Amino acid sequence: MRQTAPGTTSVVVDPVVTPVIKPEAPPAADASRWVVASAVSAPLRDPVEQRLGGPFDDQLDDQLDDWLDDDLVESEVITTGPMQQPAPSALLSAPAPQSSPASQPAPEPLTSPAPAALPAQRGWRGLLVRAGLRVGPGAAERSERADHAAARRFWTGPRTIAVVNPKGGAGRTPTTAMLAAVFARHGGAVVAWDAAAGAGTLGWRTQHRQHDASAIDLRDHLDDFLWTDARASDLMSFVHHQDEDLYDVLPGRAMAAGALDESWSAADVAELHGLLATYYRLVVVDTGASAEDPAWQAAVAAADQLVVVATPHPAVIASGRRLLEALTHRGGHHAALARGAVGVLTEAEPGTHRAAVAAAASGQLLAPEQVSVVPHDPAMVDGVLTYDRLHRRTRRAWLRAAAMTAAAMPEHSDVVVGDLA
């Protein structure tokens, strides 16, 4: 520790062993801060703290996060000391002579620090940071920051995610909405599209705008977007923007009166996908429950990434597994989708956590490292699906699912827009 100016103290904290802080005369205004810092940081002097990782550390962080206001933790500005002001004489003195441009070194490119290098924001480590110490994040927080970075991934050209399982009640609609919400909150134009040939429910579980347009209406106006003066904002007459989660929704044809009497073909799906892929960087598709329908097959053929959803119920898991086997047997692009698929196991009912974890760990759907388990959350059961209304642990699970999906996405797309094969 060294004294830099009256009323300020600079503390150098070793990244491995935290020193004992013994201020000689802390200012009265900062007395409470020093009391908190000394009381909380005392255990850190014991080398045993370096071995407190794993489940105990994560559970302690989770408990503290339940007590703390997450928004306060995430938005707090971390500072390492008072800003140093230049002396008045320096402001009045003449500027130093400048060297010629040719002799000046090229400026270094601006880079952001790696997420893991930033101070901790959550758990007991976050408490120490807010008390004035600089402490790195724990394993759980580093993992969460890595998932945020994965969700911000961009690709050259648009990408399409197909959410699949032909069994009803498997969780396609919530998964479609929450994946779209996570990706949209991390940047870029994202649309969630209900491409189901039957009565899809995505339009019922998301916000409505001042119109009732659906995929049928957009299909009937495709020619309007072939002109050179077509604009992305023109799509707002057909999609429904989600104010809080920042993505757009194109409801299924079931939202329109009498729409189920309308034809819905593979060509319709291919053409609509071509339009959406022109205006959005990411298209998340709720494929519906009819895997034999040509429209369903066209939606899967347009996908770059497959997300297989299920609940812990054995019949739902078996349905997803059989679908993957059928796609593998078909070969080509479909087999590649099956090999790179990501699984999402949602606890649709309370009391199914053990069954969901056991199903994921035993590889009943996919390999354990390819499956994310989403805990039961009453906010997921009924009403409009909104990310911020979910419990923190549920949001964390959906972030993990999105990060796994982004990581599995191929770097280069082999999908030909409009191809029905």
DSSP bridge partners of 285: 162, 193
Please tell me the predicted confidence (pLDDT) of residue 20. Answer: 43
Is 262:216 a contact under the CB 8 Å cutoff? yes
Mean of all residue pLDDT scores within the chain:
78
pLDDT digits (tens, 9 = 90+) for 127-140: 899 999 988 999 99
Identify which of 58-62, 69-73, 179-183 has the greatest average pLDDT: 179-183
User: SS3 of 297, please?
Assistant: helix
Separation CA 115–CA 144 (nearest Å) = 10
Q: Where are the alpha helices (DSSP H) in 94-231?
A: 123-130, 139-151, 172-185, 215-220
For 17, 141, 146, the CA distances from 274, given in Å and listed in that order, are 57, 39, 32
Among 324, 287, 332, 252, CA closest to 160: 287
Please tell me the predicted confidence (pLDDT) of residue 53. Answer: 47
For 74, 76, 111, the CA distances from 70, given in Å and listed in that order, are 6, 10, 27
Percent of the chain with pLDDT over 70: 68
**320 confidence band (pLDDT: 50, 70, 90):** very high
CB count in 10 Å sphere of residue 5: 11
Q: Which residues contact 353 (CB under 8 A, 6 or more apart)?
A: 347, 373, 375, 376
Please tell me the predicted confidence (pLDDT) of residue 228. Answer: 86
Separation CA 119–CA 80 (nearest Å) = 10
Domains and CATH numbers, the chain: 2-73+115-147 (no CATH), 152-408 (3.40.50.300)
Is 50 exceeded by the pLDDT of residue 89?
Answer: no
Token pair of 34 as six digits: 């020093």
Q: Where are the beta strands (DSSP E) in 84-209?
A: 159-164, 190-194
Q: Which residues contact 352 (CB under 8 A, 6 or more apart)?
A: 311, 312, 376
Is 266:297 a contact under the CB 8 Å cutoff? yes
Is 283:273 a contact under the CB 8 Å cutoff? yes
Q: Mean of the pLDDT values across residues 331-335?
A: 95
For 13, 63, 196, the CA distances from 68, given in Å and listed in that order, are 25, 9, 42
Is 284:180 a contact under the CB 8 Å cutoff? yes
